[in-house]
Amino acid sequence: MDNTTDGAIAQPETSAWSPLAAVDRRVHELLLRQERQERTTLKLIASENFASSAVLEATGSIFTNKYAEGYPGARYYAGNEIVDELENLAIERLKTLFGSEHANVQPYSGSPANQAVYRALLSPGDKVMGLPLPEGGHLTHGWAINFSGTDYKRVPYGLHEKTQQIDYDRLRETAKREQPRLIWVGGTAYPRIFDYALMAEIALETNSYLVADIAHISGLIVAGAHPNPVCHCDVVTSTSHKSIRGPRGGFILSRNEDRYQALYHPKSKYNLARRIDRAVFPQLQGGPHMNVVAALAVALQEAATPAFRSYGHQIVKNAKALAQALLERGYDLVTGGTDNHMLILDLRDRPLSGKAYAERLANAGIITNFNMVPGDPRDPAVASGIRLGSPAVTSMGMREGEMLQIADFIDLVCRQPNDPDVHTSVRRDVADFCAAFGVPGITDI
């Protein structure tokens, strides 16, 4: 369903001539429908955003055509002088923004970046600590059905029963007992700030590598709206398409030298940075997507501006405003609120599943994703929660006042989940509401 069937919703202008339309009208039609959907709905998925026209231009550029297997100055194809400059530019911008000694911009996405970390630091069967998926962690942090939970011995750490936040005391006890080789800090549905300094202490006490997954919060870190883990961690991984507003890709930051080289890798002739690079290529990937690297460089240039810093702080303000508005309307939130860009509605006491509410919200033009909550009694395929995020609507220019209206829209649908007339009415109102705001990459062309 594309949520664009209502006749009152404005149709986009179609250019007089389009190369895509001339070659493939079907794909062109789908593109226009997606554009129409994004212009007329509230994108509240925490992992989605709007890339700028500049980022989209680079993504669709002729850098798509170039094979650049290898690294700058050491390629396996000729004619890479220009893309060498391009990749080095993206690397230097990343290192400057995050204060990192080393950066790799070639991972195809966040999960491949995390897989490269395993290859570089561990051997199969080594112990890995991470936050479990139902409590806000990521599949690649040691979840049973993922490679990280089958190739490595998983040692989960959990949340405090009352606060629903990471129980650092219990985490320390578990780490001392289990002596993991690697500890992940990060998640996909954890709405609070991570204590990187304390995690670094625990990792040092247990001779563990500390790796931060900042896929969701990289833009907040660059903006100074969330602590930077780089100075505390051995390695940091991220996607490039969430709060940092780049293309669909990933990157890895790391120290140059390995503090555990003598202990865990005594026979290796490569330092930490080199092992990371070798894990990405040639162990896991072939040629990098140079169009994505180009778009990442553009996004990093945008992220270095004062406007982006203001944007990152506004993301947090909006998430807090939306959380407070929903609390005032009688909804329960995991951890009781948020410190970052996301909040998790806990709907265990409601008559329908998280999936059912997400479907009804989508029918009303409010795009979310259903999500597990700590102690969720339902199957993960339906779950009992909904994850909401503020990055995309903040990119549209919305502020705290608009979050109150969004809370009203959500409340209208969730209070009457089985009334399609209400959903249709909200859908019209959402489209009218969105019409007052621009959409990066669509209306700024």
137 is in an annotated binding site: yes
What sections of 249-366 are H helices per DSSP?
Answer: 261-264, 272-278, 290-303, 306-328, 354-363
Query: Is-catalytic flag, 274?
Result: no
> Catalytic one among 33, 248, 309, 329?
248
Does residue 133 have a known ligand-binding role?
Answer: yes
The strand pairing partners of 235, in sequence order, are 211, 254
Among residues 206, 237, 239, 338, the one annotated as catalytic is 239
Out of 38, 87, 135, 213, which one is annotated catalytic?
213
Q: Is 248 a catalytic residue?
A: yes
Token digits for 232?
Answer: 């505390």
| Cβ neighbours for 401, distance < 8 A, ≥ 6 positions apart | none
Q: Output the six-digit token pair for 59.
A: 């993504």
| Per annotation, catalytic residue among 242, 255, 387, 427 | 242
Phi-psi region of 290 (alpha: psi -120 to 50; beta: other; left: phi over 0): alpha
196 belongs to the catalytic site: no
Residue 246, CA distances (Å) to 88, 205, 243, 413 in order: 17, 37, 8, 32
Nearest alpha carbon to residue 209 among 260, 252, 171: 260
Active site residue 69: yes
The DSSP line for 134-191 is GGT--GGGT-TTSHHHHSSEEEE--B-TTT-SB-HHHHHHHHHHH--SEEEEE-SS--
> Token digits for 145?
């059905």
Could you give the CA distance from residue 435 to residue 437 in angstroms, rounded to a whole number?
Answer: 5
Containing 371, the helix (H) or strand (E) segment is: strand 369-371
Is 131 annotated as ligand-binding? no
Rounded to an integer, what distance in angstroms lies between the CA atom of residue 240 and that of residue 359? 27
Q: Is 84 a catalytic residue?
A: no
Q: Running DSSP on this structure, what letter comes out for residue 405?
A: H
Counting Cα atoms < 13 Å in the Cβ hemisphere of 397 gives 11
20 Cβ neighbours under 8 A, 6+ residues apart: 27, 28, 31
Angle at 430 between CA 429 and CA 433, to 5 degrees: 85
Q: Is 84 exposed, middle or buried (0-12, 13-18, 19+ CB in 10 A)?
A: middle
Residue 139 assigned as binding residue: yes
Of 69, 126, 178, 411, the active-site residue reads 69
Among candidate residues 35, 57, 67, 264, the one labeled active-site is 67
Task: Assess whether 242 carries a catalytic annotation.
Answer: yes
> What are 292's two structure tokens?
């994505």
d(CA 96, CA 235): 16
Measured CA to CA, the distance from residue 310 to residue 101 in angstroms comes to 26
User: Which residues are part of a known binding site for (6S)-5,6,7,8-tetrahydrofolate?
Assistant: 133, 137-139
Active site residues: 67, 69, 213, 239, 242, 248
**Residues placed in the known binding site:** 133, 137-139
